[in-house]
Amino acid sequence: MYTIPEKDLKNFQQFDGSAYTDISRADYRGSIVAIRRWNRELSGDQVEKLYMLLDIWARLNHPNITKIFGVCHLDRNRWAAIVVPLYINGNITKCLERGVKLDVLKLLTQVASALKTAHSMSPAIIHGNVRGSNILISNYGDAHLTDFGLRELNPHGDIDTACRWLAPEILFPEDGPWASAAGDVYSFGMTMFEVSPIQ
């Protein structure tokens, strides 16, 4: 995974945030990018795992999967962050809540295609956290599935907020995996239910 020096990122502006990351926009080599910074310090083992997960994510080449420019370490290497394209529309859930007109069926079809590509890899690449907040919307109204595998950094830390989308065998594992292709399909079904009634 390519490491981007902090000095190469210009004109930081706070943009958005979530329970685990703060999102800023910045200029990087002529492009406007999003800087997703974890809002807690990651241990050395977690940073190593982050690099491994990002390398797996970066193997995916699909028009509806968010690309990764690289990883950077901010504030004298204190904070780990990933650098991805900026989608100013935000995610599908927020767009629908704001009343933005979207072709939801088209977007869900694009996400299904992205998951099919990931699951067709050998070995299969598992997303692990399919939900509306991880489906970003481009300026052209297309879906971009993001955050492949990143839930593995803390698979049990978000059960309270993620349980709506998680398959029963993921919620109540018996020495099973933290995620699976079948679990992704279940989560995708719950995401269809999540975004459909908002219209």
Domain end among 62, 85, 108: 85
pLDDT at 158: 62
Residue in the block written with tokens 């004298």 = 76
Domain at 151, CATH number: 1.10.510.10
Residue 91's closest CA among 127, 130, 143?
Answer: 143
Entry pTM = 0.90
Least confident of 69-83, 103-117, 171-185: 171-185
pLDDT-above-90 percentage for the chain: 62
- The verdict on residue 17 lying in a domain is yes
Task: Give the range of the structural domain holding residue 31, as residue numbers without chain letter.
Answer: 6-85
Q: 93, 198 in Cβ contact below 8 A?
A: yes
Extract the tokens encoding 183.
């679990």
Domain at 23, CATH number: 3.30.200.20
Domain end among 16, 50, 85: 85
Extract the tokens encoding 32.
């406007």
Instruction: Provide the domain count of the chain.
Output: 2
Q: Model confidence at 196, in pLDDT bands (50, 70, 90)?
A: confident
Q: Taking residues 125-135, what's their average pLDDT? A: 94
- Is there a single domain that holds both residue 74 and residue 119? no
Residue 21 or 180, more confident: 180
pLDDT at 199: 47
- Is there a single domain that holds both residue 112 and residue 154? yes
The pLDDT tens digits of the residues spanning 57-93 come to: 999 999 999 999 999 988 766 788 999 999 999 999 9
The pLDDT tens digits of the residues spanning 142-164 come to: 999 999 988 887 756 566 667 78
